[in-house]
C-alpha cells in the first residue's frame, strides 16, 4: 500500500486521521484497530512529539503541524 500525504485543516489528531481515511478507507484498518485505537505497534509523532494517548488520539494540532505515522520498532 502506498502511503499518502494529506493536508487537512483538522484541529486535533483524530479529526486529521478521519480526514485522511475518508480519502483512503483501506488505510484505517492499518493504523487503527476496530475499536478506533492506535494499533499497538504503530506510532504517531506530531511536530517531533509522540502522540499522547493511543486510544483518545486527541492531541491538538496547530495549522502548520506535521503528523507522521510510523511503524514502531518491534518483532524479528
Least separation in angstroms between residue 69's CB and another protein is: 10
On the CB side of 63, CA atoms within 13 Å amount to 0
Our CB check for another protein shows the closer of 40 and 47 to be 40
30 is a contact residue toward another protein (CB under 8 A) = yes
Q: What length is written for the chain?
A: 76
55 is a contact residue toward another protein (CB under 8 A) = no
Tell me whether residue 13 is exposed, middle or buried, using C-beta atoms within 10 angstroms of its C-beta: 0 to 12, 13 to 18, 19 or more: buried
Query: Which residues make up the interface to another protein (CB under 8 A)?
Result: 26, 29-31, 33-37, 39, 41-42, 71-72, 74-75
Amino acid at each position: 500500500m502506498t502511503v499518502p500525504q494529506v493536508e487537512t485543516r483538522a484541529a486535533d489528531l483524530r479529526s486529521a486521521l478521519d480526514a485522511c481515511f475518508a480519502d483512503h478507507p483501506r488505510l484505517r484498518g492499518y493504523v487503527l484497530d476496530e475499536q478506533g485505537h492506535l494499533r499497538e505497534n504503530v506510532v504517531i509523532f506530531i511536530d517531533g512529539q509522540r502522540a499522547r494517548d493511543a486510544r483518545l488520539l486527541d492531541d491538538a494540532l496547530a495549522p502548520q503541524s506535521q503528523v507522521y505515522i510510523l511503524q514502531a520498532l518491534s518483532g524479528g
